[in-house]
Amino acid sequence: MTSQTSPFPANRMFATQALPLRRDRQLGSKSLFGLAWLVSLAALLPLGFILWITIQTGWETASALIFRPRVAELLVNTVLLEALTLPACIALAVALAWLTERSDLPGARLWSWLAVAPLAIPAFVHSYAWIGLAPGMHGLFAAMLVSVLAYLPFLYLPVSAQLRRLDPALEDAAASLGLAPWRVFLRVVLPQLRIAICGGSLLIGLHLLAEYGLYAMIRFDTFTTAIVDQFQSTYNGPAANMLAGVLVLSCLGLLALEVLIRGDARYARVGSGAPRPVTRRRLGRARVPALLLPLALAGLGLGIPAYTLARWLAAGHGAAWQAPELAAAFGETLLYALSGALVTTLAAAPMAWLSVRAPGRLQRMLEGSHYYVGALPGVVVALALVTVTVRIAPLYQSVATVLLAYALMFLPRALVGLRSGIAQVPVELERAAVSLGRRPLLAILSVTLRLAAPGVAACMALVAMGITTELTATLMLAPNGTTTLATQFWSLTNELDYAGAAPYAALMIVLSLPLTALLHAQSRRASGQ
Amino acid sequence: MSLLDISGVSKRYGQQAALDGIDLSVPARSRTAIVGPSGSGKTTLLRIIAGFESPDSGSVTLDGQVLADGPLIAPAHRRGIGYVPQDGALFPHLDVAENIGFGLERGDAARNDRIAELMDMVELDRAMLTRRPHELSGGQQQRVALARALARKPALMLLDEPFSALDAGLREAVRKSVARVLQQAGITAILVTHDQAEALSFADQVAVLRQGRLAQVGTPHALYWQPKDRDTALFLGDATVLHAELSEGFATCALGRIPAETAARTGRVSVMLRPEQIRLSPATPGQEQAGACHGEVEDIEFGGSLCAITVAVEANGARERILVHASSLDLPAPGTRVRLDVIGKAHILVR
């Protein structure tokens, strides 16, 4: 080799000073595990409370309370609700997502916004709207109808995001293997939507188990409504606690089912560069009939609430807007929603990181404990926290306790969002950043967190929205004199002052709207559009 | 003088030994290729050098600086080692300029000039600076990844199968230009690949890795012509391996009595012949008995400039198949008898 001077001499800076040698710590995974454990233990608090109560109650009383026709009836109701609502939601979400993402449906962009918009309307406002329209509405099919309309976006969002992200090359390959278009969809596209469908269905399934207001208003009995009824009549009675025990079991069953179906599928996209944009399928003559689906869903999910609300607002002649309680409730709700979202996201972060970057059996267990707690009705979480905090005076009826309750209840939302956000970022990018001189922590901040930011923002929005409309735990745990939009709305509808309640419902929707918009925009940006 | 020294590096994942006592030294300003089939541990070795993984035992030293001493390792971000991952791993949220400038100080006034200079170096049009990674072709992405890694003037550059995602024509062009850029910049490079042709043409030094062990290290020429064992011989290219009897510097095998590399050994051995060592000519009647080796053309695989011909040779009652490379001009027809002459010497395999 000649001794010509290189125009580009190698950097010698690194060789002059000795580098420190350390054990490879895998970026503080021990402390992450510690934090995840801590959150998991906190999440186990409500379950521990139920077990403790069961033991205190004794087997005979407990079994008398569990094995009775009333429980069987509630179980049948719950199973029927899940079995009817989930398949309907999946079918509608997949059809709607396919139409808005993969077909030349006129106004696809607009329909995609409208498909997410029902999220802005709290579930119990949905049933308030239907009751306003058809006061006699009740029972299983009413419950199913309102549930589908209220919760469909939870499935539509992940499914449509996944559809956008799919590599069209796979579909081309399948078509070249002789599959007709609809078989390509069944054998190639649908299996790839599995993770999105599983995640969304789990979220909806858990909501069905935990929701109180929606079903109470249309008089459909589930475990949660029964527990609240019991609690209101007997305060801390063993009957409510035993029902809660059965509810916890149903929730664990749902979790196990999801784990079983989800399997070991990979989340991160492999392959080079960004995916090519997908081609939209021409609907041809089906274009106009295809419009019926988004039209019907928007009409039922948005039109009816808008109509009822407008009617009640007009009936109130604006007097309800003048009430000073309204402004106070608005401010307080905002504060709780923002601080609660922050606390919850922070609490879910260690687990989300571990479950993506270092999956294992222990992580699954810890994850399960993060999930199950979100399925507990607010009343169970609140009941457990009341029992604990009543012994620690400064915590009883404090803001900290309310935030803790929120963090526990909305942990699954935060975890689902964070997990998929982190999973979208290949480790290779982080390694590349480190090899370019970024400290590991900075590499995570500037690359992984930056790319996961849409997911993080989305999950915070989801949590904040949940808190905006949270009812029972707030009622039970908040310091005296706290009024949020949801609690005020509820007490007014209980007094049958539907017109007075309307401004509260409208404000809750207004508060949720920007968050919904953000959520929708982020999910588009995350897939590079 | 060697820039990078790896000695006794071992790594296990549970029961599975990924690397088992690797010793390798990489001379400064050279290009080394680590080649092996998938699962041979080559990527693990690269990750240990880069600092993404710690060895269970052994040490890694770069220019006198200890990078790894058993499980104790220096942090990856302070090693000053460039890294080009398999598919480029460009940051999807940054444009080309920001990708290349990722490792450069933000406040530096010369930053933009430097980025432009790097674009020229990797032969990319400066107009691409504002493009996003998904707007680039595979080859362009790879060049940006190289420029990004070059920006910090690393002493050592690690290339993790950077060409495998490119199509064949492009792959060769990108490989040549990467080699040229590294050469001009005076940067030592380690390429990990499963493609032996790529390893032989890219590197000054080739290390063959098999099941976590270094089978052989040497120049491409030495490895190709003097592989230690049959596996290495066949991994690096087509070859015919024959049983032979050594005596007085000659190997007696199915191809007759041919000169051996050494006269020092005697007895039964395995010898290797590369297809290009054997020349075919039409058989002329009468010569068959005169000691020259003859065989029958069994199969011809047309390959454009070079064709692979399989010739069956009868020796001691056994049928041996000999692979021969020949020009596609004057190809013998299958079934014809041909004469085989050996050019050069038979290489004796150690194992």
pLDDT digits (tens, 9 = 90+) for B68-94: 998 999 988 888 899 998 888 889 888
Confidence of residue A137 (pLDDT cuts 50, 70, 90): confident
Residue A467: which residues within 8 A CB-CB, separation 6 or more?
Answer: A333, A336, A337, A340, A341, A406, A410
Quick one: which H or E segment has residue A350? helix A324-357
Residue A264: pLDDT band (50, 70, 90) is low
* A60-81 per-position pLDDT tens digit: 888 888 888 988 999 999 999 9
> Token digits for A27?
């970026």
Contact B73 A24 (CB under 8 A): yes
CA distance A263 to A462: 25
Q: What was the pLDDT predicted at B217?
A: 94
**Residue A452 maps to a domain:** yes
Is A348:A418 a contact under the CB 8 Å cutoff? yes
Q: For A432, which of B63, B71, B89 is closest by C-beta distance? A: B89
pLDDT at A364: 86
Q: Which of residues B214, B233, B252 is at a domain's end?
A: B233
- What CATH number is given to the structural domain containing B160? 3.40.50.300
Name the band, by pLDDT with cuts 50, 70 and 90, for residue B261.
confident
Closest A-chain CA to B79: A14
In the predicted structure, residue B22 carries a pLDDT above the cut 90: yes
User: Is there a domain that residue A69 lies in?
Assistant: yes
Check whether residue B155 and residue B214 sit in a common domain: yes
What pLDDT, on the 0 to 100 scale, is given for residue A525?
Answer: 63
Q: Say whether both B51 and B175 belong to one domain.
A: yes
Residues B136 and B94 both lie in one domain: yes
Query: CB–CB of B91 and A443 under 8 A?
Result: no
Q: Say whether pLDDT at A198 is over 80.
A: yes
CA distance A20 to B73: 8
Model confidence pLDDT, tens digit, residues B129-166:
999 998 888 888 989 999 999 998 898 999 998 888 78
Classify residue A280 by its DSSP letter.
P
- Residue-number span of the structural domain to which A372 is assigned: 42-264+292-307+319-526
Cα A519 to Cα A379, A454, A524: the distances in Å are 28, 8, 9
**Is the CB of A272 less than 8 angstroms away from the CB of B141?**
yes
Average pLDDT of the residues in A435-450? 87
Strand-pair category, B293-301 with B306-315: antiparallel
User: Residue B84 sits in which domain range?
Assistant: 2-233
String of DSSP letters for A377-401: -HHHHHHHHHHHHTTSGGGTT-HHH
Query: Which residues in chain B are contacts of A9 at CB distance < 8 A?
Result: 153, 186
Q: How many CB pairs under 8 A join A and B?
A: 151
pLDDT of residue B351: 64
**Is there a domain that residue A385 lies in?**
yes
Token pair, residue A141, equals 């099919």
AA identity, residue A8: F
Q: Give the per-residue pLDDT at A3.
A: 41
* Beta strand B65-69 pairing with B57-62: antiparallel
Give B244's strand partners: B269
Q: How many angstroms away from the CA of B54 is the closest CA of chain A?
A: 6
How many structural domains does chain B have?
2
3-state secondary structure A115-178: HHHHHHCCHHHHHHHHHHHCCCCCCHHHHHHHHHHHHHHHHHHHHHHHHHHCCHHHHHHHHHCC
> What pLDDT, in 10s, does the model give residues A270-282?
444 455 666 777 8
Give the highest mean pLDDT range of A196-200, A276-280, B4-8. Answer: B4-8
pLDDT at A13 over 80: no
Label residue A515 by pLDDT band (50, 70, 90): confident
The CA distance from A61 to B191, in Å, is 72
Q: What is the CATH number of the domain that holds B282?
A: 2.40.50.100
Q: For B50-94, give the DSSP string.
A: HTSS--SEEEEEETTEEEEETTEE--GGGS-EEEE-TT----TTS
B contacts of A438 (beta carbons < 8 Å): 77, 102-103
Q: Nearest residue on chain A to B187, judged by CA atoms?
A: A10
What's chain B's length in residues? 351
**Would A449 be classed as within a structural domain?**
yes
**Residues 166-185 (B) with a CB less than 8 A from some CB of A:** 184-185
> Which of A62-71, A246-255, B5-14, B277-286 has the highest average model confidence (pLDDT)?
B5-14
Q: What is the ipTM of this complex?
A: 0.80
Q: What integer is the mean pLDDT of B236-248?
A: 89
Whether residue B262 sits in one domain with residue B164: no
Considering just the CA atoms, what is the radius of gyration of chain A in Å? 25
Q: Shortest CB distance from B83 goes to which of A6, A15, A432?
A: A432
Does residue B60 sit in the same domain as residue B125?
yes
What are the chain A neighbours of B186 within 8 Å (beta carbons)? 6, 8-10
Distance, in angstroms, between A268 CA and closest chain B CA? 13
Domain boundary, last residue among B163, B198, B233: B233
The answer to whether position A101 is within a domain reads: yes
Is residue A173 predicted with pLDDT exceeding 90? no
Pairing of strands B2-13, B16-27: antiparallel
pTM: 0.72
Helix or strand (DSSP H, E) at A428: helix A427-435
User: Considering chain B, what percentage of its residues have pLDDT values greater than 90?
Assistant: 40
**Residue where a domain terminates, one of B184, B205, B233:** B233
What does the pLDDT average to over A465-487?
84
Kindly report the CATH number assigned to the domain that includes residue A467: 1.10.3720.10
One domain for residues B76 and B93 = yes
More confident residue, B290 or B162: B162
Report the domain count for chain A.
Answer: 1
Q: Are B155 and A10 in contact (CB < 8 Å)?
A: yes
B211 and B89 in one domain? yes
Does B249 lie in the same domain as B178?
A: no
Shared-domain flag, residues B264 and B207: no
Same domain, B125 and B199: yes
Per CB-CB distance under 8 Å, the chain A contacts of B64 are 15
Please check whether residue A18 lies inside any domain of the structure.
no
Q: What is the mean pLDDT of residues A134-142?
A: 89
Q: Which of A253, A255, A252, A247 is nearest to A212 (CA)?
A: A247
For residue A388, pLDDT over 90 is answered with no
Q: Which of A224-238, A442-456, B115-129, B224-238 has the lowest mean pLDDT?
A: A224-238
Q: What is the mean pLDDT of chain A?
A: 83
The verdict on B339 and B195 lying in the same domain is no
- Looking at residue A306, its amino acid is A
